[in-house]
A and B are shown apart, each in its own frame.
Chain A
């Protein structure tokens, strides 16, 4: 790429050696902000069907990529806002609490947040769960409330922090998007702990409903309808790269 004359045709071109190729890849990974090459686990062949989180993220990618050419233009996708990093979290532990008629029913999801980068400002966070039409609660209005599990107790109910409330019909179908942005403030304080999100479903009369009966799908759903969490970040200015 220099201003000097190009070598005449037929001159042997130097090829990168194996170590130089590795060094080159390491440099490019560093530009992309990665300490090393990711090694995702390949899913079993039988389950290599489109999964919910990648499908959603692919839509976001197309929206973000269309905005790449002009940093000064407003984002075409409202959800993106000014975010330049979006992470989806699919690794979770699901717990259901369906005991007796007096206890409130709930469904809880525990997310591993250790992959969240430090120094990134959260602009929004969503928990996405698919709802099928409920065949058991016909023509009923349902209230879905979301809480963050702040502290569990062995001898009493856990401490909960209210996040979101959505009202829908039992016959509705589609992705339910729950705003959990308020939980992000606590991530910075307890990054070593899993994030617990607990969902309660109630009828208009205040009766607690099993979220599964209401049509909310958990981890045992088909891959394209499994719940996941999405977090939008605005990157802080990158620290200067260490000189090589």
Chain B
């Protein structure tokens, strides 16, 4: 059963089909009106720009990346969509005000290591998990 959404404003876009219409094979739902599909984008966290190189030894920054893009039906294989996301996207087509699209989010994350001084001048090396986006997908 579908539950009514709370505090949700209807989206004023022209890309959503009518609830009683399913997209045909020639409908440019995927990548329509120039919107890019869910994928990974560059995001660099600079310890240098933060002014932290007085205590961070390495690295001077790292590429964290972020995910952005559309998760519209039909979800391509490149979108790394789960079965649930595929189902949710389909239901969104039928009930756009009740069920949102699947979210473009990280599906695989990796670690990054940081070498730094503490306030006692001890040198610390720590691996921080789930800091770097390796892959994005519709979930």
A contact residues vs B (CB 8 Å cutoff): 1-3, 25, 28, 31-33, 37-42, 53-54, 57-58, 60-61, 64-65, 68-71, 84-91, 112, 115
Contact = CB atoms under 8 A, between A and B. Distances in A.
B127 A64 contact: yes
Interface in B62-90: 66, 68-70
B91 interface: no
A68 B125 contact: no
A25 B35 CA distance: 32
Given A38-B118, A115-B120, A71 B129 contact: yes
B57 A54 contact: yes
A61 B113 contact: yes
A41 B119 CA distance: 7
A25 B59 CA distance: 17
Q: Is the interface of A mostly helix, strand, loop or mixed?
A: loop
Contacts of B69: 3
B120 A57 contact: no
Interface string B106-127: 0000111111111111111111
A28 B125 CA distance: 17
A60 B114 CA distance: 11
Contacts of A70: 110
B55 interface: yes
B45 interface: yes
Contacts of A25: 50
Nearest to B132: A68
A33 B113 contact: no
Interface in B1-55: 35, 41, 45, 50, 52, 54-55
Contact of B121 (A31, A61, A90): A90
B128 A31 contact: yes
